[in-house]
């Protein structure tokens, strides 16, 4: 039997880059709650004792950005000066401009809307930037995600849960997880080859206590025992000490964990980050739509693995290209599937926003533990309501 291994990582909500993602999306949510038509491109930097919010925002409302920043940092768990980053005492700086008028021309009214005599609502909004976005789904897990990133996210979320509940009160917010999965023939999950968990901790806990507690309360409660054997390698805090963490240990920046946000490197990524961007930015909305399309194709039984690429020109509503790749697992050829996607899904930004109901405050909770495959929150791009339509079109 041929073997194939693949590794993916995740990080906890206290990782410095994830702190920044959550701040940016918390600000976006607060603005969308007041103005659904707002244009937001908000990025955050965090380092010892300071958070800086910057970007371009055009909105018909006011939100208290410093208060949102401090609340978000506190909810994550940075509310102790000993951690070197404290929600109550850190400096909060802002430097915000309005969206560029040159960009706004094409976003507010697309090229088609400005040039076509027969205008429809679907062509009002143009893509907020050029670029290509990818979506992916596979049948390795119930949520139709690759197994390595799914397991890594679950470990990271469990690590935060036992910290916040007080069960492991010596843990601190920053942490990372990594899972290596061994596949057998035909991409079937065979076993877990290795697990890495690194967690920030208080200085008075011993390494032996930390390692035993994480194995018993995090790993054994999260990873299926049938997938682990005596050859599975487990590393817990392999450096031996992780007291200095969060923005004190490493500066953070919005959008620096895009592979954690998507498929753990298992599928391609267009390069654009998600957090802090309103849904007119196709970096975000079209990536969600591509996942929605791919997941419905797999859910319909039309492929075991599916990747969808959608590409846009700035200011233009219709995509410049749509690609479907089923890696040889499709029940019909990929070209026919791509044609079916174009027939059954309206991929213009306005229609994506409308169909997935994206102009609302749903983004803060996506900013940690992945934007895809979530079962703890209801995300519209994870629905499989189009699977029957696709199946019927092929039969």
pLDDT (average), residues 183-210 = 94
- pLDDT on residue 353: 96
Pick from 364, 346, 366, 363: nearest CA to 355? 346
Strands of the sheet with 50-58, listed across from one edge: 91-97, 50-58, 39-47, 252-253
pLDDT (average), residues 7-20 = 98
Q: pLDDT category, 103, cuts 50, 70, 90? A: confident
Are 227 and 191 a contacting pair, CB within 8 Å?
A: yes
Q: Is the pLDDT of residue 104 over 80?
A: no
- pLDDT on residue 115: 79
Are 45 and 91 a contacting pair, CB within 8 Å?
A: no
Give the pLDDT confidence of 371-386 residue by residue, as tens digits.
Answer: 999 999 999 999 999 9
Of 45-54, 94-103, 191-200, which range is least confident?
94-103
Q: Following DSSP, what letter does each residue of 31-57 receive, concatenated? A: HHHH-TT-EEEEEEEEETTEEEEEEEE
Q: Is the pLDDT of residue 83 over 80?
A: yes
Give the pLDDT confidence of 279-294 residue by residue, as tens digits.
Answer: 999 999 999 999 999 9
* Angstrom distance (rounded) from CA 214 to CA 176: 12
Q: Is the pLDDT of residue 106 over 90?
A: no
Give the pLDDT confidence of 122-155 residue by residue, as tens digits.
Answer: 788 889 889 999 999 999 999 999 999 999 999 9
pLDDT (average), residues 173-181 = 98
pLDDT (average), residues 28-47 = 96
Q: pLDDT category, 113, cuts 50, 70, 90? A: confident
pLDDT (average), residues 1-30 = 96
Q: Is the pLDDT of residue 223 over 70?
A: yes
Pairing of strands 39-47, 252-253: antiparallel
Say whether 192 sits in a helix, a strand or coil.
strand
pLDDT (average), residues 212-240 = 96
Q: Is the pLDDT of residue 186 over 80?
A: no
- pLDDT on residue 279: 95
Q: Is the pLDDT of residue 260 over 90?
A: yes
Output the six-digit token pair for 297: 């194709």
Are 349 and 358 a contacting pair, CB within 8 Å?
A: no
Output the six-digit token pair for 36: 């659904």
- pLDDT on residue 282: 96
Place of tokens 């990524």: 269
Q: Following DSSP, what letter does each residue of 244-310 receive, concatenated? A: S-HHHHS-EETTS-HHHHTTTTSS---S---TTB-TTSHHHHHHHHHHHHHHHHHHTTS-SEEEEEE
Q: pLDDT category, 84, cuts 50, 70, 90? A: confident
Pairing of strands 50-58, 91-97: parallel
Q: How many percent of the chain have pLDDT more than 70? A: 99
At residue 89, φ and ψ (nearest 5 deg) are: -120, -10
- pLDDT on residue 1: 64
Q: pLDDT category, 117, cuts 50, 70, 90? A: low
Are 44 and 24 a contacting pair, CB within 8 Å?
A: yes
Q: Is the pLDDT of residue 56 over 80?
A: yes
Pick from 324, 288, 285, 322: nearest CA to 305? 324
**Residue 180: how many other CB atoms lie within 10 Å:** 19
Q: For residue 8, what are the β-bridge partners?
A: 179
Q: How far out from the chain centre does Cα 139 lie?
A: 19
- pLDDT on residue 101: 80
Q: Is the pLDDT of residue 271 over 90?
A: no
Q: How many percent of the chain have pLDDT more than 90? A: 88
pLDDT (average), residues 54-61 = 95
Residue 97 has what DSSP assignment? E
Give the pLDDT confidence of 231-254 residue by residue, as tens digits.
Answer: 999 999 999 999 999 999 999 999
* Angstrom distance (rounded) from CA 13 to CA 299: 30
Tell me the pLDDT of the chain averaged across its residues.
95
Q: Is the pLDDT of residue 266 over 70?
A: yes
pLDDT (average), residues 343-355 = 96
Q: Is the pLDDT of residue 188 over 80?
A: yes
203, burial (CB in 10 Å: exposed 0-12, middle 13-18, buried 19+): exposed
pLDDT (average), residues 321-345 = 97
């Amino acid at each position: 039997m041929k073997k194939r291994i693949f590794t993916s990582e995740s990080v906890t909500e206290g990782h410095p880059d994830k702190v920044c993602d959550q701040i940016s999306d918390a600000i976006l949510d607060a603005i969308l709650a007041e103005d659904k038509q707002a244009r937001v491109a908000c990025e955050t930097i965090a380092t010892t004792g300071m958070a800086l919010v910057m970007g371009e925002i055009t909105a018909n409302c006011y939100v208290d950005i410093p208060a949102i920043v401090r609340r978000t940092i506190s909810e994550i768990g940075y509310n102790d000066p000993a951690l070197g980053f404290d929600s109550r005492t850190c400096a909060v700086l802002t430097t915000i401009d309005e969206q560029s008028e040159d960009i706004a021309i094409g976003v507010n009214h697309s090229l088609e809307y400005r040039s076509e005599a027969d205008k429809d609502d679907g062509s009002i909004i143009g893509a907020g930037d050029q670029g290509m976005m990818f979506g992916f789904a596979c049948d390795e897990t119930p949520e139709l995600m690759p197994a390595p990133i799914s397991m890594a996210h679950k470990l990271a979320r469990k690590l935060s849960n036992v910290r916040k509940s007080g069960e492991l009160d010596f843990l601190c917010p920053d942490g990372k997880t990594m899972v290596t999965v061994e596949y057998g023939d035909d991409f079937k999950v065979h076993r877990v080859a290795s697990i890495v968990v690194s967690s920030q901790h208080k200085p008075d806990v011993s390494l032996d206590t930390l390692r035993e507690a994480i194995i018993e309360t995090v790993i054994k409660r999260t990873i299926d025992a049938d997938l682990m054997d005596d050859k599975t390698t487990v590393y817990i805090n392999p450096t031996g000490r992780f007291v200095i963490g969060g923005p004190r240990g490493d500066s953070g920046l919005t959008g620096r964990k895009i592979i954690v946000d998507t498929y753990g490197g298992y599928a391609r990524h267009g390069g654009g980050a998600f957090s802090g961007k309103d849904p007119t930015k196709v970096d975000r909305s079209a990536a969600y739509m591509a996942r929605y399309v791919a997941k419905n194709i797999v859910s319909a039984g039309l492929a075991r693995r599916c990747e969808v690429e959608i590409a846009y020109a700035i200011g233009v509503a219709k995509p410049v290209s749509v690609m479907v790749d089923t890696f040889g697992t499709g029940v019909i050829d990929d070209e026919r599937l791509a044609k079916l996607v174009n027939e059954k899904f309206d991929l213009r930004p306005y229609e994506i926003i409308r169909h997935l109901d994206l102009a609302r405050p749903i983004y803060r909770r996506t900013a940690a533990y992945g934007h895809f495959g979530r079962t703890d929150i209801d995300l519209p791009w994870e629905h499989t309501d189009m699977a029957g339509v696709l199946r019927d079109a092929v039969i």
